[in-house]
Amino acid sequence: MARYELVKRSVALITLTNPPVNALSSAVRHAIAKSMEHALNDPKVTAVVIYGENGRFCGGADIREFAGPLRGPPLVPLLDAIEAGEKPVVAAIEGVALGGGFELALVCHYRIAHFKARLGLPEVTLGILPAAGGTQRLPRLIGIPAALELITTGRHISAQEALKLGIVDQVTEQNACEVAVEFALRAVAKPLSSRRVSTLTTPCPPDLDALLEAVTMQVKKKARGAMAPLACVQAVRAAATMPYSKGIKRESELMATLFNSGQARALQYCFFAQRTAGKWTLPSGAQWNNSKPREIRRAAVIGLGTMGRGIVVSLARVGISVIAVESEKKLLETGKQMVIGMLERDAKRQGVSASLNLLKFTLSLQDLKDVDIVIEAVFEDMALKKHVFQELSKVCRPATLLCSNTSGLDVDALAGVTDRPHLVVGMHFFSPAHVMKLLEVVCGPRSSSETIATAMSLGKRMGKVSVAVGNCPGFVGNRMLKPYLDQATFLLEEGATPEQIDKALEDFGFAMGVFRMSDLAGLDVGWRVRKESGLTGPDIDPKNPPRRRQGHRYCPIPDMVCEQGRFGQKTGRGWYMYDSPGGTNAKSDPLIQNLLEMYRSRYGIQPRNISDQEIIERCLFALANEGFRILEDGIAARPEDIDVIYLFGYGFPRHRGGPMFYASMVGLERVLERLEHYHQAHPDVPHLEPSPLLKKLVACGSPPVQNWREHIKTMHSHL
Ligand SMILES: CCC/C=C/C(=O)SCCNC(=O)CCNC(=O)[C@H](O)C(C)(C)COP(=O)([O-])OP(=O)([O-])OC[C@H]1O[C@@H](n2cnc3c(N)ncnc32)[C@H](O)[C@@H]1OP(=O)([O-])[O-]
In this structure, the answer to whether residues 404 and 511 fall within a common structural domain is no
* Tens-digit pLDDT profile for residues 403-420: 999 999 999 999 999 999
Nearest Cα residue to 159 out of 99, 102, 100: 102
In this structure, the answer to whether residues 374 and 231 fall within a common structural domain is no
In this structure, the answer to whether residues 595 and 624 fall within a common structural domain is no
Ligand 1 atom closest to the Cα of residue 271 is 49
Under 8 Å between Cβ of 403 and 375? yes
Sign of CA dihedral 141, 143, 144, 145: negative
Q: Is the pLDDT of residue 21 over 90?
A: yes
Residue nearest to atom 39 of ligand 1 (CA): 21
* Tens-digit pLDDT profile for residues 460-501: 999 999 999 999 999 999 999 999 999 999 999 999 999 999
Rounding to the nearest 10 degrees, give the CA dihedral for residues 431, 432, 434, 437: -50
Sign of CA dihedral 281, 284, 290, 292: negative
In this structure, the answer to whether residues 133 and 252 fall within a common structural domain is yes
Task: Give the total number of structural domains in the chain.
Answer: 4
Under 8 Å between Cβ of 448 and 441? no
Predicted pLDDT at 719: 77
Beta strands in 241-396 (DSSP E): 298-302, 321-325, 359-362, 373-376
Q: How confident is the model at residue 69 (pLDDT cuts 50, 70, 90)?
A: confident
CATH of the domain at 313: 3.40.50.720
Q: How confident is the model at residue 646 (pLDDT cuts 50, 70, 90)?
A: very high
Residue 272 placed within a domain: no
Peptide bond connecting 191 to the previous residue in cis, omega within 30 degrees of 0: no
In this structure, the answer to whether residues 644 and 594 fall within a common structural domain is no
Residue 205 placed within a domain: yes
Ligand 1 atom closest to the Cα of residue 276 is 53
Residue 41 placed within a domain: yes
- Listed residues 208, 231, 259: the one ending a domain: 259
CA 282 – ligand 1 centroid, Å: 26
Predicted pLDDT at 353: 85
ipTM of the complex: 0.99
Tell me how far the alpha carbon of residue 654 is from its chain's centroid.
8
What percent of the chain lies above the pLDDT cut of 70?
Answer: 99
In this structure, the answer to whether residues 320 and 395 fall within a common structural domain is yes
The neighbour count for residue 66, using CB atoms within 10 Å, is 16
- The arithmetic mean of pLDDT across residues 358-362, rounded, is 97
Helix (H) or strand (E) holding 90: strand 89-93
Q: How confident is the model at residue 58 (pLDDT cuts 50, 70, 90)?
A: very high
What percent of the chain lies above the pLDDT cut of 90?
Answer: 93
In this structure, the answer to whether residues 598 and 647 fall within a common structural domain is no
Mutate to test the pocket of ligand 1, among 18, 26, 63, 265 (most ligand atoms within 8 A of CB): 63
In this structure, the answer to whether residues 186 and 63 fall within a common structural domain is yes
59 lines ligand 1 (CB under 6 A): yes
CA distance 321 to 310: 14
Q: Which domain holds residue 96?
A: 2-259
* Tens-digit pLDDT profile for residues 118-134: 999 999 999 999 999 99
Q: Which residues contact 462 (CB under 8 A, 6 or more apart)?
A: 314, 315, 317, 318, 439
Backbone dihedral region for residue 568 (phi beyond 0: left; psi -120 to 50: alpha; all else: beta) = left
Predicted pLDDT at 50: 98
- Listed residues 228, 259, 290: the one ending a domain: 259
* Tens-digit pLDDT profile for residues 662-688: 999 999 999 999 999 999 999 999 999
Greatest distance between any 2 Cα atoms in the chain: 94
Q: Determine the straight-line distance between the first and last CA of the chain, rounded to whole angstroms.
A: 39
Q: Which residues contact 690 (CB under 8 A, 6 or more apart)?
A: 625, 672, 675, 676, 679
In this structure, the answer to whether residues 539 and 415 fall within a common structural domain is no
17 vs 70, residue with greater confidence:
17
CA 402 – ligand 1 centroid, Å: 35
Under 8 Å between Cβ of 16 and 59? no
Q: Rounded mean pLDDT of the chain?
A: 96
Give burial (CB, 10 Å; 0-12/13-18/19+) of 172. Answer: buried
Catalytic residues: 103, 123
CA distance 60 to 134: 12
Residue nearest to atom 4 of ligand 1 (CA): 100
Q: Is the pLDDT of residue 715 over 60?
A: no
Beta strands in 45-88 (DSSP E): 47-52
Predicted pLDDT at 351: 87
CA distance 482 to 252: 44
Under 8 Å between Cβ of 436 and 429? yes
Q: How confident is the model at residue 322 (pLDDT cuts 50, 70, 90)?
A: very high
96 lines ligand 1 (CB under 6 A): yes
Q: How confident is the model at residue 364 (pLDDT cuts 50, 70, 90)?
A: very high
CA 57 – ligand 1 centroid, Å: 12
Rounding to the nearest 10 degrees, give the CA dihedral for residues 454, 458, 460, 466: -70
CATH of the domain at 616: 1.10.1040.10
DSSP 331-370: HHHHHHHHHHHHHHHHHHHHTS---GGGEEEES-GGGGTT
Residue 267 placed within a domain: no
Q: Which amino acid is at 27?
A: A
Q: How far is CA 140 from CA 105, 157, 198, 216, in A?
A: 14, 18, 7, 20
Residue 658 placed within a domain: yes
In this structure, the answer to whether residues 540 and 409 fall within a common structural domain is no
Residue 559 placed within a domain: yes
CA distance 472 to 635: 7
Residue 53 placed within a domain: yes
Of 187-201, 345-359, 382-396, 462-476, the range with the lowest mean pLDDT is 345-359
| 302 DSSP β-pair partners | 325, 376
Mutate to test the pocket of ligand 1, among 16, 21, 56, 281 (most ligand atoms within 8 A of CB): 21
Predicted pLDDT at 714: 59
Residue nearest to atom 17 of ligand 1 (CA): 59
Q: How confident is the model at residue 441 (pLDDT cuts 50, 70, 90)?
A: very high
* Tens-digit pLDDT profile for residues 192-237: 999 999 999 999 898 999 999 999 999 999 989 999 999 999 999 9
Q: How far is CA 497 from CA 100, 328, 685, in A?
A: 47, 43, 20
- The arithmetic mean of pLDDT across residues 227-252, rounded, is 97
315 lines ligand 1 (CB under 6 A): no
347 lines ligand 1 (CB under 6 A): no
In this structure, the answer to whether residues 151 and 111 fall within a common structural domain is yes
Residue 475 placed within a domain: no
- The alpha helices in 633-687, defined as continuous H runs, are 639-649, 659-666, 668-681
CATH of the domain at 168: 3.90.226.10
CA 616 – ligand 1 centroid, Å: 33
In this structure, the answer to whether residues 626 and 661 fall within a common structural domain is yes
CA 556 – ligand 1 centroid, Å: 48
